Each structure stands twice: as C-alpha cells, then as structure tokens.
Amino acid sequence: MRIEIKKTSFCQDDLTPESKEVLSLVNGVWSEACGHFVAIRAVQRQSGGVKLLGIQKSINHVLNERFLDAGWSGQDSRFRKNSTWVRFTFRHQMSLGSEIIDAIKVSKKEKITQCFLISAPHEFLQIISPRDAGSLTSYEKLVNELATLENVISVPLILGALVPISSLSSQVREEVYGPRLSKS
C-alpha cells in the first residue's frame, strides 16, 4: 500500500520524522493483508464455515503488528510516536465526526504536532469491504467534511488516502478480486 497525503490548511508544516515513517510502514501492507485474508478464508472453507467477505480486519491486523513492532504505542489502528498521531479508519461514516474530534483532542490535550487521518478512497473500499463500502468512511468523505470546517477548527491534520500498490500472487489476486466482489 501507499498513502497519498493531503495537507489541510490547518497543517502546512513539513512532515515530522514519524510522519515520514508512517508513509514507509504501509509499504507491502496490502500484499500481507491479502495473504492473511486468503489464509483465513481457506481455513473457513475447509471447516465449512461462512467465508469472511471484508479485508479490513486483515489490514488492521497487519497495521497493528507493523506499528507496534516499529515502536509506536496504540491499538485499534490508532497509533502515537513522540508528537505524531495516526488513525487508520474503516469505520462507518457516522463515526466521521468522532474521528475528527479525536484528532482535535489529541492535538490539544497531548501536544501532538501532526495528526493523520487515513482512509481508503471509495473505489478501494469496494474491494476492501464490498458489502459495506457505501456506508464506510471514505477518503472522499473525509475531504468533504473537512472542507466544511475551514476556518472553524484548528488542528495539525494531514489526510491520507490508502492506495493498493502491492503485487499479489495469482491465487491471492483471484481470491481478492474474483467472485467475492460479486457476492456483495
């Protein structure tokens, strides 16, 4: 994966070293998460259980491992290192406001100098969670909501769009991009 960043008008500072680290830590997450997802589905298939449809749990699992291994503190896809805070969200769009409020709170109460809110664009959400993509917080929804807050709030916020760039084996690609998407 890769993160395409968009600095808000609230945050025009250069990226902190930790913010740069965020960008590097997501390299390969998509490939690893897809492999994790396919392995879970294989076990479910063998046991005759209902097959997992969404990949977001696998993405969160890989992100949690990577960030904690790199010395970040946190859980549930919210991480902090020094004065940088990051939140990856695959939550329902009704939580969009609480994501922004969380960024405001940590920046004011915990002296965070850069906050990241990272989500997937709608097109990518359709692959990550085909059944729920329309109701999840997309990158576009974050951008639109923050546009309405121009000159209303002040928070050192950077938005990030997750982009799937990892190469996948043909078996994993078929499982991720194949019939699963038409079952939603």
What are the pLDDT digits (tens) for 84-142?
Answer: 999 999 888 778 788 888 998 999 899 898 999 999 999 999 999 999 999 999 999 99
What is the number of alpha carbons within 13 Å of residue 81 lying toward its C-beta?
16
Question: Given this model, what pLDDT does residue 66 score?
Answer: 96
Give the pLDDT score at 183.
60
Q: For the residues 148-171, what does the mean pLDDT come to?
A: 88
Q: What residues pair up with 81 in beta bridges, in sequence order?
A: 84
**Non-local CB neighbours of 112 within 8 Å, separated by 6+ positions:** 80, 83, 84, 85, 106, 156
Lowest mean pLDDT among 56-65, 69-78, 151-160: 151-160
Instruction: Give the structural domain span for 26.
Output: 2-183
- Span 65-72, mean pLDDT? 97
Exposure string (b/e) for 137-170, b if CB count within 10 Å is 16 or more? bbbebbeebbeebeeeeebbbbbbbbbbebebee
The residue length of the chain stands at 184
% of the chain exceeding 90 in pLDDT:
61
H or E element that contains 147? helix 139-148
Higher-scoring residue by pLDDT: 60, 49: 60
Confidence at residue 63, expressed as pLDDT on a 0 to 100 scale: 96
Residue 151 binned pLDDT confidence (cut-offs 50, 70, 90): confident
* pLDDT value of position 12: 64
pLDDT of 178 over the 80 cut: yes
Considering the entire predicted model, what is its pTM?
A: 0.91
CA distances from 168 to 30, 59, 177 (A): 9, 15, 10
Weakest-pLDDT range from 41-50, 67-76, 115-124? 41-50
Output the pLDDT for position 80.
97
Contact 19, 114 (CB under 8 A): yes
* Count of structural domains within the chain: 1
Q: What is the pLDDT of residues 97-113, one digit of tens each?
A: 888 889 989 998 998 98
The CATH number linked to 135 is: 3.40.91.20
